[in-house]
Each structure stands twice: as C-alpha cells, then as structure tokens.
Amino acid sequence: PTVEVTRADLSEVLHRSAHTEADFLFDDTVTALDQDEGGVDVTFRRSSPRRFDLVVGADGMHSTVRRLVFGPERQFAGDLGLYGATVPLEPDAIEDPTEMTMLTVPNRMLVLHPSRTTPLAIFTFRAAQSAPHDRKNIALHKQTVADAYADVRWRAPELVAAFLDHPAPFFDPLTTVRVPSWSRGRVVLLGDAAAATALLGDGSSMAMAGAYALAEELAAHPVDHTRAFAAYESRLRREVGPRQRRVGPLSRFMVPRTRPGLTVRNAVGRAVGRTNRTASREAANR
C-alpha cells in the first residue's frame, strides 16, 4: 500500500520534531558561500552571516546552494519537454476524497488529486510553443495553462478558471537534475538539488531517504566529512540512477502525443491495475 503525506503536513511534522535542536531562519535565503579547510562562511539576504562546519544544500530543483558552489542550473538540468502546474481546490471539488480522476488528450493530462482537506488540480502538458522560462512571471504561467487547455472539455474550463483565480499557483517546466558529484569541499547536495526526477512524484521521499543516509554516514565518519559524503552519495545513487533512467520514457508514455499512443497507455494502465488488484487480494487471503 501507498501512503501519501502532503508537503505541508510533512513540513509541520519535521519542524515540530527539530525546532528544539536547530535554529530556523524563515523568509530568508543564502547569497554567498565561502569555504576553507575549517568551515563555511554563509551570507544571508536578511540574517547576519554565520560560520558552519558543513553546509547541506537541500533547497530543491532550483537550488541556490548548488548555483553558488557548483555552477549555473543549465549545466545540470535536463528538459523533459513537459510543463507541470497545480492549484489547490476547495474540499468539495472532489466527490470522493479517496479516488483520483484523470483526463488525457494528446499532449495534455489533467488530474484531480484527492484529499480530505485540499484536493489539487494537476496539469501536465506540452505547450504548442516553448514557454519562456520565467519563474516569477505568474501572468505568463496562467496564460500558458489557459492556452494549453483551451479546447479541452470535461471539467477543464472550471479547473483552469481556478488556476487563473489563484494568486500564486505552481508552474514549472518538468526537468531532471544530474550533478556529476554531489559534494564539493564542505558543501553537499541533498534531494532534488542533487538529483531531481520530476514527474515521479517522489522528491520528498527521496530527500527524506537521503537525509537519513547522510546522517548515518556523518555519524559513522564524524571526523572525515569527505568520506561520509562519498558513502552517502554511493548509497543514494543506487536508488536515484534507475529512476532517472526511466523518467524520460515515462514522460512520453504518460502524456502521449497521439491518440494511438493514448490507447496503448490506457491498455497498459488497465492491465497493471488488474495485476495490482489481484496481488492485493492474494496478499489479503494469506
């Protein structure tokens, strides 16, 4: 069975567990990192500078830490040719909070993702023309989604309207991130900052697994961070590698360009669904 925990709930649990052991700086970001053999001097946009023994860049696909230490994002990002957009909905937007509903037409997919409190509309699509990559231009994001789904029926007009009405809906090109080495000196990358696999939906899970592995290796090598970083990366690459190799083919399979492609994908989906239901019944009868 699969258990889903929303990012907001996960963040709350982690903060509640760690707030007595760590200092939290909210509404701030790193602007400079200067490391030497003994530590890392970190400059923040708002807070006073601090010095740390180690720095872990766990700041997502568009990592600032990675950019400052390893280089610009374009060196590591791979385009999947898709865009992803989400918007939260009212609780009554979905009749059954346990059921996911999906509509797919060539080049576009629209999913109603269930939740008892905050269901989501998820748009995954290929734009007719490549949308300019401006993460801060919300008006452009909204227009891109509206144009992509202009001729899609079902509940698309209603859900696009919800996207347009939201003050800050999520929108981003779907990409992978591949960094040749996840550490440099006393700085190490974690989660999507090190190895993003957009579309699989397991970024938070892999980040949690990575954080656990990194903590274990630092505990095992308390005076040798270089060795700890290398061991952590070796462990996680065994998990990340297969995911990154299949995300490209998966993106083409999940959002087909043609109706024959949709037919094949739906047939495979029904077959997998029957297999999963059979396996669940067999497990329940043991």
Number of domains in the chain: 3
**In percent, how much of the chain has pLDDT > 70?**
92
**Within this chain, do residues 13 and 136 fall inside the same structural domain, yes or no?**
no
Identify the CATH number of the domain in which residue 158 sits: 3.30.9.30
Categorize the per-residue pLDDT at 197 as very low, low, confident or very high, splitting at 50, 70 and 90.
confident
**Within this chain, do residues 162 and 33 fall inside the same structural domain, yes or no?**
no
**What pLDDT does 284 receive?**
36
Categorize the per-residue pLDDT at 274 as very low, low, confident or very high, splitting at 50, 70 and 90.
low
| pLDDT of 239 above 60 | yes
Is 158 contained in some domain? yes
User: How many residues make up the chain in this entry?
Assistant: 286
* Beta carbons within 8 Å of 83's beta carbon, 6+ residues apart: 123, 124, 125, 126, 127, 131, 144, 148, 171, 172, 173, 174
In the listed set 121, 145, 175, which residue is the last one of a domain according to the structure?
175
SS3 21: coil
Is 123 contained in some domain? yes
The domain of 159 spans 80-175
**Within this chain, do residues 230 and 278 fall inside the same structural domain, yes or no?**
no
In the listed set 175, 204, 224, which residue is the last one of a domain according to the structure?
175
CB 47 within 8 A of CB 28: yes
Where are any strands of DSSP class E within 106-256? 108-113, 120-125, 170-177, 183-184, 187-189
**Within this chain, do residues 106 and 168 fall inside the same structural domain, yes or no?**
yes
Is 41 contained in some domain? yes
Q: How many CA atoms lie within 13 A of 18 on its CB side?
A: 9
For the entire predicted model, the pTM comes to 0.85
Is 118 contained in some domain? yes
**Within this chain, do residues 140 and 88 fall inside the same structural domain, yes or no?**
yes
**Rounded to the nearest 5°, which phi and psi values hold at 116?**
-75, -20
Is 1 contained in some domain? no
**Within this chain, do residues 18 and 139 fall inside the same structural domain, yes or no?**
no
Identify the CATH number of the domain in which residue 70 sits: 3.50.50.60
In the listed set 175, 209, 240, which residue is the last one of a domain according to the structure?
175
* pLDDT single digits (tens) 254-270: 888 888 888 888 888 77
**Within this chain, do residues 191 and 215 fall inside the same structural domain, yes or no?**
yes
**Rounded to the nearest 5°, which phi and psi values hold at 237?**
-65, -30
**Within this chain, do residues 157 and 94 fall inside the same structural domain, yes or no?**
yes
**What pLDDT does 128 receive?**
67
* pLDDT single digits (tens) 109-161: 999 988 878 889 999 998 766 655 677 889 999 999 999 999 999 999 999 99
**Within this chain, do residues 55 and 182 fall inside the same structural domain, yes or no?**
yes
Residue with tokens 């590591």: 76
* pLDDT single digits (tens) 19-36: 899 999 999 999 999 999
Is 121 contained in some domain? yes
User: What Cα–Cα distance (Å) separates residue 41 from each residue in 20, 46, 69, 188, 229?
Assistant: 23, 15, 12, 15, 19
Name the residue type at position 65.
Answer: V
